[in-house]
Amino acid sequence: MSAARTPDETRTVLDSDDIARALTRVAHEIVERTKGADDIVLLGIPTRGVYLANRIAERIHVIEGRDIPVGSLDITLYRDDLRRAPARALLPTTIPPGGIDDKIVVLVDDVLYSGRTIRAALDALSDIGRPRMVQLAVLVDRGHRELPIRPDYVGKNIPTAKTEKVLVHLVEFDGDDAVRLSGEPGEGS
């Protein structure tokens, strides 16, 4: 019973240096696992996944000296919980000029939780083209999967309680880089 934190309090679990290191490692892993990242396309899931995809692409550029195609994939229209909430505004989907057919698509998102976003992303991808392989990179894996989906590249595994919230801030969108936890830690956290 760690009732020391009230629900309003937040705890920083990754600071900007941690995020930078995690992304650099993920970039190296992608290059290694795809044997040089020859035909990969990074697709970020808006909003923050797109910024993360761009950062990973910059790092791969440093490692391999080549530009990596980056796009964004909005999954709003493929969600399975659309009828539970007011309709959401759509976010941009941009597919790089080379397309995704026969490429290795690496989906990039900030937090992996139930896996439902990624399920929707896989549906969206199949309407756009047929990649040779699809992989998943996330900054934070917080557990509590509801579908048989696993990430290929993880910045940081953060065990959480379902009552907690993972707040990802990125400079490009929020003005600072940090991953914070808020809410009741609850039992078993």
Which one of the spans 8-16, 18-26, 55-63, 91-99 is the region binding other proteins (CB under 8 A)? 91-99
Out of 66, 88, 132, 150, name the contact with other proteins by CB under 8 A.
88
Q: At a CB cut-off of 8 Å and minimum separation 6, what does 162 contact?
A: 144, 186
- Identify the three-state secondary structure at position 104: strand
Minimum distance of other proteins from residue 16's CB (angstroms) = 17
Instruction: Rule CB under 8 A: say whether 86 interacts with other proteins.
Output: yes
Residue list 126-155, contact with other proteins (CB under 8 A): 127-129, 138, 142
Out of 111, 137, 154, 178, name the contact with other proteins by CB under 8 A.
111
Out of 26, 104, 166, 178, name the contact with other proteins by CB under 8 A.
166
The alpha-helical segments, DSSP class H, found in 65-115 are: none
Sheet arrangement for strand 104-112: 70-72, 40-44, 104-112, 133-141, 153-157
Q: Which is nearer to other proteins, 38 or 173 (CB)?
A: 173
Sign of CA dihedral 60, 44, 173, 112: negative
Which tokens in the block code for residue 58? 């910059």
Instruction: Rule CB under 8 A: say whether 41 interacts with other proteins.
Output: no
Torsion of CA 157, 13, 181, 20, to 10 degrees: -80
Q: How far apart are CA 41 and CA 148, in angstroms?
A: 23
Instruction: Rule CB under 8 A: say whether 51 interacts with other proteins.
Output: no
Out of 40, 110, 137, 178, name the contact with other proteins by CB under 8 A.
110
Sign of CA dihedral 102, 103, 108, 114: positive
Minimum distance of other proteins from residue 65's CB (angstroms) = 32
**DSSP 8-state code for residue 78:** G
- The site for other proteins (CB under 8 A) is made up of 45, 47-49, 74, 77-79, 81-93, 109-114, 116-117, 123, 127-129, 138, 142, 165-168
